[in-house]
Chains A and B, each alone.
Chain A
């Protein structure tokens, strides 16, 4: 299908992109890898009059480390994240999650910033962002601000990004290999029906703290606070995971009813914790 007509702009710098965004306001959309935006444009669910392509803005892509923090540029592709030696060593959970996205074609085009900014409730990366305690760098005309993953995801396809802001980088504190991502992919789309990302901090072979985040089963990714508390208090995988659905109001839909979803949350949480603990 053909998208409605639009005008294409290639941004040459972050500043240029911000200028174009200010100029075209709500008529414009930022284009990164295009793998969420173009499908909805082809279906004419989205009909932006202007596309601002940030794909060739230099400095927006790449992976580096400074002072125990991994910095990932917004236009870094999923495939580069998944195969980065630095990420494999210092944020192995992120490498694993990025490797679960779609198929090689998708991973070669889609970007980390695009996925996070899009905030699809079934996307994989948002769970990793929360489990890793990532911080989003949002840049507007007046400069940059830092927003934690917990604050960033607001609702279905809604984030803390202002309409004239660009997501420019993602910062992740270096973490250990005590982590796992367990995903149940939808057989049609490949997106997560449920995805549970677990990042444990251990000392002396024991869990000292845990971050557990879930994607797929609600309007936005969420931390499973009761599970985290149980793990920090020394619970094993089964008893911690038993709390995975506590306090969450699941809804019935085509993917299953609420009790099935609560069950998926518990089962996949258990599997992810068990593997992270191995």
Chain B
């Protein structure tokens, strides 16, 4: 390993930012192909409707309009429904054709597509298409969809039940709850969130009839997954003739994992009309068609003994999955949720039951954190309710229930085995940073003056670094979750990195260059990172689930070791030394004890490619590819504390302080990790205080724009105070965990707990999010009236 300034752990500036902040990024919408035409979609204006007929004659008569296709046209041509990538026993899949066939099931579902010479013309033509609908009754709320007589979203899903899933020991939990000293019961709604990447979804599809090859440029977090599913299952295109490119992608948060109808349609239409087809979503279309997140309706029962120790936990969740399953949806409210319900706590017995239910809304799938924020919120919110009920300080109640450091590896009651962890130091550090004891005194003093300060804790754990392939395979995943990493050393010693992960804001070009520079002793500028192109990368599973560093980075690390080892053999050969006597440091191979007998890495790389003077049994060249399959998830954890003040006159919440202490294992670029954390905290606090997707009972989205869906703004938030503890992960050679989702996972509960803590003098123990001024003020009035 290098002895010069180590690059792992260095907060160097991001290599990619130069092009992004000077407008030179190349996003999908920047791609224009000769002869391209533009697609526009006709979308259902109804939550549920029968599609009787589509009259496109006026649109087709407009000069510059090339074609109009409907769902029925694509089905007749053999285009299959888009399948989910994860299955459960008994799952009822409501077929999702790329465009509605016969029935439209949510407002925004594509019904027909027009292609025309310009995007504006395509939009005009789409508006000229007349669709004859019969509006049908819709259902948008999970529990309502389960009630008797509710409208049926899919014929094959009786009672709208998509699947029933459970985990843990039902009888044991029952017994623990019956025998407990205190049982804390709480009903919680984890509301609908609407992802809003800055870059809307877009695609350009080009079928080249000369060699029957299809190229799709698309806003994807996982281009190989797009290729596999679209090619093999939906369109029936051989993989070797299907290239998927995800160029610069401006944010995903999960919403760009999934295979969307518009991409499928663009590919098919390109072949049908022999022209490249381009489509870019409008922001209004994003609200109505990007998969949403969360939407849980949950009952928690947390049972305690006389010492405030949790003796059992029962969780019942209705997960609203929307009108169809998108790619990850079956896994999110189950394996990414139920398995996390032990949190940082030593809970002897847990049972979780999830009912996934179809409704007439946009599909619901993975959104930053995906299941884990929902689990953390259920646990951490209920713990605070319990603290109030038991009369124990919330920090103390958590501490009392932490898994002791001596108990690792710890087998939870919900399938996961935590490899490592030590939770008290993070809690202690966070409490010290906020000066907890003093803060409680200040809070009491403020209350005496009619000011309502609240302190909210969230001690979270997440399982990320998705994922050990054999484990997810046994749980229903239709793919493995390893990652590939290629180190291609050029004859001059410069390096190209090929990674199967994908960067859409995470700064991989920098982080991965740092791993290479650290290992090879070169400059990060000598390293270029290539991602997002199925024709360049051997294979890849993409980026989500905080996996890129832990899985993709590890693949690169292992490839680097192979490259270094081959270089060592070449150097030893040329230095006429035994391989065992040759060391590598600062970019040089040298003979132990006589550092002047050395070869630079560049000399060795050149030698490898010249092949004039390498060991006779050695192949020329210097590159290596590794597929890294992690042995376990990684388990970041930490404690976050939010301090808020509630203006009792208006219900307005001011976030005064936000402290985050996290354990991400080893950190490659602390600045980038802080950035990930900051964004995540903002997103999670926003769920607690501002964001909420709302449907009316007819299926109309009432929050379909940024005028009424409140994304967080920088001025709403204080400067975040962060620190870390470092417990390297034992499951990968870099000792890294994942940092992409932690902020979101922890912060929602911290912020919500802080607000409810502020309101405790009014006897308020819970309110559902978002905790808007109107909600808070109403609750205060009710509480006052009730007194």
Within 8 A of A (CB), among B689-712: 690, 694, 702, 706-711
Within 8 A of A (CB), among B742-782: 773-774, 777-778, 781
State whether B652 touches A256 (Cβ < 8 A): no
B716 CB-CB contact with A under 8 Å: yes
Complex CA gap A42/B98 in Å reads 26
State whether B123 touches A184 (Cβ < 8 A): no
Pick the residue among B283, B284, B650, B774 that contacts A255 (CB under 8 A).
B774
Q: Residue on A with the closest CB to B123?
A: A2
Tell me the minimal C-beta distance from A238 to chain B in angstroms: 12
State whether B650 touches A263 (Cβ < 8 A): yes
State whether A254 touches B694 (Cβ < 8 A): yes
Q: A43-B284, A257-B778 are in contact. Are A188 and B716 (CB under 8 A)?
A: no
Tell me the minimal C-beta distance from A267 to chain B in angstroms: 5
State whether B706 touches A189 (Cβ < 8 A): yes
A44 CB-CB contact with B under 8 Å: yes
Within 8 A of B (CB), among A219-278: 254-257, 259-260, 263-264, 267
Q: A5-B124, A254-B694, A267-B650 are in contact. Are A188 and B708 (CB under 8 A)?
A: yes
State whether B716 touches A187 (Cβ < 8 A): yes
A85 CB-CB contact with B under 8 Å: no
Q: A1-B282, A43-B284, A260-B777 are in contact. Are A254 and B708 (CB under 8 A)?
A: yes
* Binary B-proximity of A1-34 (CB < 8 A = 1, otherwise 0): 1101100000000000000000000000000000
B652: chain A residues at CB < 8 Å are: 184
Q: Which residue, A5, A187, A260, has most C-beta atoms of chain B within 10 A?
A: A187
State whether B706 touches A188 (Cβ < 8 A): yes
Within 8 A of B (CB), among A174-217: 184, 186-189
Complex CA gap A261/B217 in Å reads 49
Complex CA gap A42/B258 in Å reads 28
B778: chain A residues at CB < 8 Å are: 256-257, 260
Complex CA gap A4/B777 in Å reads 43
B212 CB-CB contact with A under 8 Å: no
State whether A260 touches B774 (Cβ < 8 A): yes
Complex CA gap A216/B284 in Å reads 25
Complex CA gap A188/B706 in Å reads 6
Tell me the minimal C-beta distance from A241 to chain B in angstroms: 11
Complex CA gap A1/B288 in Å reads 14
State whether B708 touches A189 (Cβ < 8 A): yes
Complex CA gap A81/B127 in Å reads 40
Q: Residue on B with the closest CB to A264?
A: B650
Pick the residue among A43, A44, A256, A267 that contacts B774 (CB under 8 A).
A256
Pick the residue among A184, A188, A257, A259 that contacts B707 (CB under 8 A).
A188
State whether B123 touches A1 (Cβ < 8 A): yes
B649: chain A residues at CB < 8 Å are: 263, 267
A187: chain B residues at CB < 8 Å are: 690, 710, 713, 716
Q: A255-B774, A264-B650 are in contact. Are A188 and B710 (CB under 8 A)?
A: yes
B120 CB-CB contact with A under 8 Å: yes
B119 CB-CB contact with A under 8 Å: yes
State whether A189 touches B707 (Cβ < 8 A): yes
B706: chain A residues at CB < 8 Å are: 188-189
Q: Residue on A with the closest CB to B716?
A: A187
A263: chain B residues at CB < 8 Å are: 649-650, 777
State whether B702 touches A254 (Cβ < 8 A): yes
Complex CA gap A49/B127 in Å reads 16
B651: chain A residues at CB < 8 Å are: 260
Complex CA gap A256/B772 in Å reads 9
Q: Which 4 A-B pairs have the closest CB atoms?
A: A256-B774, A188-B710, A1-B282, A187-B710
Query: B-side interface residues toward A, CB under 8 Å?
Result: 119-120, 123-124, 127, 282-284, 649-652, 690, 694, 702, 706-711, 713, 716, 773-774, 777-778, 781
Can you list 10 contacts pairing A with B, beta carbon distance less than 8 Å? A4-B127, A184-B773, A186-B710, A187-B690, A188-B690, A188-B708, A188-B709, A254-B708, A256-B773, A256-B778
